[in-house]
Chain A
C-alpha cells in the first residue's frame, strides 16, 4: 500500500504556510519533524481539560492527568515492543536519555582501564557524555571506523570489542542516513559480555522499532523527530538492568520514602523520573505514535525508500560529478537523509540561496564533528525527508540547486 502524501500534508499546518507568497518546502526532518494537528490538539486538550499534577492527586482531575501520562507510556511500550511499561522512562530528549545512561550505568560500571566502543557516525549526544565520564573515570573510548560508502567497517570489530564493557552506536546516522547492522553488532558484542545501547533518534521515526528483536540492552530516542513535541524523549532499558542502576536526578517522584537519614527509590520507571513530568508533551507523543501507527511504519519506510531513490537519481543525473553525495548508494541501506557537498558552493551559501524559495535544508556539521573530520569536510548540506514529503519537494530542491549552481559556478 502506498501512502497518500497529499492527504497527509493537510494534517500539518506549517506545511500550508507561504512565506513571501511561496510555499514552504520542508526538507529538514532529521533536525526536527513537523507536527500534525492531532498532536497539537492532544497537548491543548490536556491543558484545557485535564491539567493537574500527576501521581499525587486524590481527585478525579489528577487521576485523569495521570492516566494521560501513563497512557502515553503504554503507547510507547507497544510502539517499540518493550516487554513492559516499567522499561520505558520519559526524559527531556535523547540527549538527556544518553546522559542518564552514562551517569548511572556508566558511573557504576566503568573505571580506570576499561574501554567502551563508539562509532565514527555518532551524534555529539552519544560522544560527549562518554568523554565527560572518561575524563573522570579514565577509561578508553574506541571507535569503529566507517568505509568509503558510509557503512561501518567491521573488519577489526572483534578486536575493538575485546575487553570492552559497552557498545553504543546510532541505529541510523543523522548525517549519512546509514542503517547500522543492529542485530549483528548486538549479538556479537553481547557474546563478548558487552552491554549494548542503540541511539535510535533517527531510526524510530522512520522504521519499525522492535527492541526485543534488536536484542539490545538500551535504546534512546527523542520525541520531536517523530512528529511529537520538543521536550520529551525516551530511554528504554531491560528491566533487570534498569533495576540494578542507581537513580539519576533526585527529588520528588523518584522516591518511595525520605527521612532525615536518607531515601529509598521508587519503582521503575518512576525511579528515573524526578520532579513533575512533561504531561502535555507525553500526550503529544502519544498522539504522534497513534498518527504514525495508523499510517503504518512499514508504509512510511517504503515511501521513504521510494522518495530517497528518486532524490538520489535526480541529484546524480542533474549534477553528476559536481556533487559529492555521502553515504550508502542503495536506498535500502539508508534512511531518507542525504548529505552532499557541491563543488564551488559552500553549504551555508547553498542553504541561503535555497531559502529564497523557502526550501529548508540544513547546513553545517550536524552535531557530528568527528564524522566531518573523517569525511574531510568542514560542513555538508543535508536534505532529510519524512512521510509528508513527496516528489514535488525534491523537484523544488533540484530547481533551487540549479540556481545555486548558476550563481556560484559560472
Chain B
C-alpha cells in the first residue's frame, strides 16, 4: 500500500516551503502559463534563452506541494543547460513518471531508462503511486516543453 511518506519526502517539503528560483523575468524572457484544470493550479514559467542556453528560469503561479516542489527542482536542474540537454532531462523525468505508471498498470516497458541522473527529482518517484497527482508533478515540465517549443517557433519565423 502506498503511504504518505512515499509522497511527501522531506526534500519535497523543503522545496515546497522554500521554492528556488521563484519570481518573474522581464521581456524579452519568454513567459508561458500552464493550468491543471482539476485543481486550479497554475504555473508560469519564465525562460531566458541566450545562445541556445537557458541562462535564467523563474517560476510564478500557485499550487500544491507536489507541483511547486517539482517546479522548483526543475529550475535547479535546468538552469544553465542547453536546449538539447534540457530536452533530455525533460524526457528522462517524463520517463520516470511513465515507467512507474506502466509498472503499476502491469504494462510492458521497453526498459530503456535513460542514464541521466535526476538527482533530487528522484524523490518524486513516489508520486506515481498516487495517479491523480502525476499531473501535479508534470505541470511545470509540460509548461517548460511548451515554452521551448514556442521560443523555437518564434526563432524559426524570424
Contacts and interface: CB of A to CB of B under 8 A. Distances in A.
Contacts of B1: 20
A364 interface: yes
Contacts of A408: 13, 65
A363 interface: yes
A378 B38 contact: no
Contacts of A346: 63-65, 68
Given A345-B65, A346-B63, A372-B40, 13 more contacts: A347-B39, A348-B136, A349-B64, A349-B66, A352-B4, A352-B130, A353-B4, A364-B39, A364-B40, A365-B39, A378-B41, A407-B8, A408-B13
B81 to A, nearest CB: 29
A348 B64 contact: yes
A379 B62 CA distance: 10
Contacts of B38: 364
A408 to B, nearest CB: 7
A379 B40 contact: yes
A352 B63 contact: no
B39 A379 contact: yes
B42 interface: yes
A368 to B, nearest CB: 10
B41 A348 contact: yes
Interface of B: 1, 4, 7-8, 13, 17, 38-42, 62-66, 68, 130, 133, 136
A364 B68 CA distance: 16
A23 interface: no
A407 B9 CA distance: 10
13 contacts: A344-B17, A345-B65, A346-B64, A347-B64, A348-B41, A349-B65, A356-B4, A378-B40, A378-B63, A379-B39, A379-B40, A408-B13, A408-B65
B4 A365 contact: no
Contacts of B39: 347-348, 363-365, 379
Contacts of B65: 345-346, 349, 408
Contacts of B68: 346
A369 to B, nearest CB: 7
Interface of A: 20, 344-349, 352-353, 356, 363-365, 369, 372, 378-379, 407-408
Contacts of B13: 407-408
Contacts of B64: 346-349
A124 to B, nearest CB: 12
Nearest to B63: A346
A279 B49 CA distance: 61
Nearest to B8: A407
A369 B4 contact: no
A72 to B, nearest CB: 34
A369 B65 CA distance: 21
B61 to A, nearest CB: 8
A350 to B, nearest CB: 9
A345 B8 CA distance: 12
A173 to B, nearest CB: 17
A356 to B, nearest CB: 6
Contacts of A365: 39-40
Contacts of B40: 364-365, 369, 372, 378-379
A372 B42 CA distance: 13
A353 B7 CA distance: 10
A409 to B, nearest CB: 9
Contacts of B63: 346, 348, 378
Contacts of B66: 348-349
Nearest to A353: B4
A307 B113 CA distance: 53
B36 to A, nearest CB: 9
Contacts of A372: 40
B41 A407 contact: no
A378 to B, nearest CB: 5
A346 B67 CA distance: 10
A345 B136 CA distance: 15
A235 B40 CA distance: 30
A148 B41 CA distance: 24
Contacts of A344: 17
A345 B133 CA distance: 15
Nearest to A409: B17
B87 to A, nearest CB: 29
A379 B66 CA distance: 15
A352 B65 CA distance: 11
A142 B130 CA distance: 42
A353 B3 CA distance: 10
A371 to B, nearest CB: 12
B62 A378 contact: yes
Most buried by A among B41, B42, B64: B64
- The list of the 8 closest CB pairs from A to B, nearest first, reads A348-B64, A346-B64, A365-B40, A379-B40, A378-B62, A378-B40, A364-B39, A348-B39
A378 B42 contact: yes
Nearest to B2: A356
